[in-house]
Amino acid sequence: MDTLVRLGYVAMSVHLQNSSPSQTMTFAQFSKLKNREAAIQKLERIAISNLENCLRLLKHNVWSEVEFFRFSSRLIPLANHEELEDWDYMKPIRSILSEIKDFLNRHPMRVGFHPDHFVLLNSQKPEILKRSIKTLKMHALLLRGMGVDLNHRCVLHVGGAYEDKEQALEQFIHNWGFVPETIQKMIMLENDDTTFHVEHALYLCEKLNIPLVFDLHHHLANHEEAQWEKNWERIVQTWKHSPLPIKMHISSPRDEKDFRAHANYINAEMFKDFLFKVKGSVPQIDCMIEAKQKDDALFQLMEDLKGTKGIELASKSTFYLR
């Protein structure tokens, strides 16, 4: 069986000028503005600008034949700040979200989020769990506004070890019961580079019916368990109920000394070694590139794969493993 591989990139483009979707305002900056109403209007202008840049990025993706993209999770500054609970941040952005929805209807692509590391579903502190669920609800509102089906659109890490990994895993299972069903269905879990390796993540994914996003670089940095190949079939099985193809993250170490940091580009040889091991095991695999050079890393990787025996390019971002 041939395998289709689709490449995507994260949040912003190095080719598109002045298109940051992560412009922000700190609470300290917000507090310095004497007129609260004017301060909120400034926040709203930033949020609208971020989403307008998202639309520009989606247009750039269509032109570049990229069908897989991760939105920034910093689209709405201070959306969940406790001092701004009275702010209806969705109202001013409905119009631009509707434009994005229309665009995605005309040009379907796989989109999603990777909420920040402070979203901790295995926290022992109720207030942190509550804030984490609130942040995920914001992501759900944004996805709904864009007309995107919520299934498996947010990648999370397992969370903190809190000095006892086994207990931290059980805490995740306990807390899962407090997570609303609509939020549960958004979640995918990822193995990390320091604490929870593939088998830890698989334990939760198999128990709670959550897809596992395999991160190859994290796996190589976290040498606690055996070769990833022995767990590949289990990883694939976590996706059997998902409407989406299996998803993974790819990045390369900056250097041997700083192994965990992401390089500017992807090491094509390391990636090819992985690809030919999984070829034929799944009909399609979507690979999200986590590299400093964003979309340029994607274009360079496609260039590096050209002419490789067993790889047939299908578009500017997709290819077949034959």
- pLDDT tens-digit readout, 186-244: 999 999 999 999 999 999 999 999 999 999 988 888 765 568 999 999 999 999 999 99
CA–CA dist 54, 56 (Å, integer): 5
Which percentage of the chain shows pLDDT scores above 90? 92
Residue 262: its pLDDT value, please? 87
The owner of tokens 């993974």 is 248
- Report the pLDDT value the prediction gives residue 114, as an integer from 0 to 100: 98
Q: What are phi and psi of 99, to 5 degrees?
A: -65, -40
Average pLDDT, the chain: 95
- pLDDT for residue 225: 59
Rounded average pLDDT over 276-302: 98
Per-residue pLDDT at 17 exceeds 80: yes
For the stretch 33-53, pLDDT in tens is 989 999 999 999 999 999 999
Q: Which of 27-31, 51-55, 61-65, 308-312 has the lowest mean pLDDT?
A: 27-31
- Closest to 322 in 3D by CA, of 7, 231, 314, 251: 314
Nearest alpha-carbon partner for 91 in 25, 43, 147, 161: 43
Tens digits of residue pLDDT in 110-168: 999 999 989 999 999 999 999 999 999 999 999 999 999 999 999 999 999 999 999 99
b/e map of 264-279 (b: 16 or more CB within 10 Å)?
A: ebbbbeebbebbeebb
Res 257 pLDDT > 90 = no
Domains in the chain with CATH codes: 3-321 (3.20.20.150)
